[in-house]
Amino acid sequence: MIGFILGTSEGRKILSLINKYTNDIAVSTATTYGGELLKEFNIKVLNTKPLNKEEMLNWISTSKIDVLVDASHPYAQEVTKTALECANELEIQYVRYERQGALENVSGEDIIRVKNYEEVIEIIKEIDGNILNTTGGNNVSKFLNLDFKYRIIHRILPSPKVLTKIVDAGISIKDIIALQGPISYELEKAFIKQYDVKGILTKDSGTQGGVLEKLKAVRECNIKLIVIENSKVTYDLEFNDEEKLIEFLVDRYCKV
């Protein structure tokens, strides 16, 4: 059995490719919505909720997984840490599918790179205007009770669970945009103008995550792009191309 932890749009392509050779696969996503997107694929075991270490160990064992492919989001560091630990403890092969960043070789005065949210807070206090946060709803509490005279607008997934979470945390409804990404350049530019944004906070989630559209809109509107950089990790076995990943899996784990 091949196990997949999926958290990016490439997951659908990975499954469509592997299904040409086998349906002996187990898939784990963090949300029910993520599972709904995979209904068309032939999957023997499907989990649609976040797994802690004990739960992941149980999922791998009961599913009889021989190789674990971690294709979680490049910034989902806790998921990757747990997956690595579980694979090591159960002595199975761990394979990382890593989406490449889109801004690694891009420079300019309009790009401000930071390592964490603490640095983000210091940066936005120096920006004279509203901020559009596009990094999700998990860290919105860090933006509450700041000594900041402008608005911080949070763009999140249109999920009742996420919306409830950030409203309960104290974010005002008027400062929330609930929309499924990625966002086009034209719409990104419209948000900048509608909310009088002077800085967009983002993660470098690759071309698939729409970061280049943000950069184009930022440059045309002459504002700042604040990028939370991803910490670099070296894996024993890593792929950045879906086809090459599948070639490896078919060669090693599929009898065709």
The class level of CATH for 111-228 reads alpha beta
Q: Give me the DSSP letters along 48-99.
A: -S---HHHHHHHHHHTT-SEEEEE--TT-HHHHHHHHHHHHHHT-EEEEE-P
Tell me: the pLDDT tens digits for 69-106?
999 988 888 999 999 999 999 999 999 999 888 888 88
Is 111-228 in the same CATH topology as 2-100+232-253?
Answer: yes
Tell me: the pLDDT tens digits for 129-140?
999 999 988 888
Nearest to 119 by CA among 63, 174, 193, 201: 201
Q: Which residues contact 174 (CB under 8 A, 6 or more apart)?
A: none
Asked if 197 and 153 count as a contact pair (C-beta separation under 8 A), the reply is yes
Sign of CA dihedral 92, 240, 27, 83: positive
Architecture of the 2-100+232-253 domain: 3-Layer(aba) Sandwich (3.40)
Burial letters 223-235, b for 16+ CB under 10 A, else e: bbbbbbbbeeeee
The residue to which tokens 């509203």 are assigned: 130
Where do the domains of the chain lie? 2-100+232-253, 111-228
Give mean pLDDT, residues 124-153: 91
Give me 200's structure tokens: 């967009």
Tell me: the pLDDT tens digits for 166-203?
999 999 999 999 998 779 999 999 999 999 999 999 99
Task: State how far the Cα of 205 lies from the Cα of 216, in Å rounded to an integer.
Answer: 15
**Among residues of the chain, what percentage have pLDDT more than 70?**
99
pTM of this structure: 0.83
Tell me: the pLDDT tens digits for 15-25?
999 999 999 99
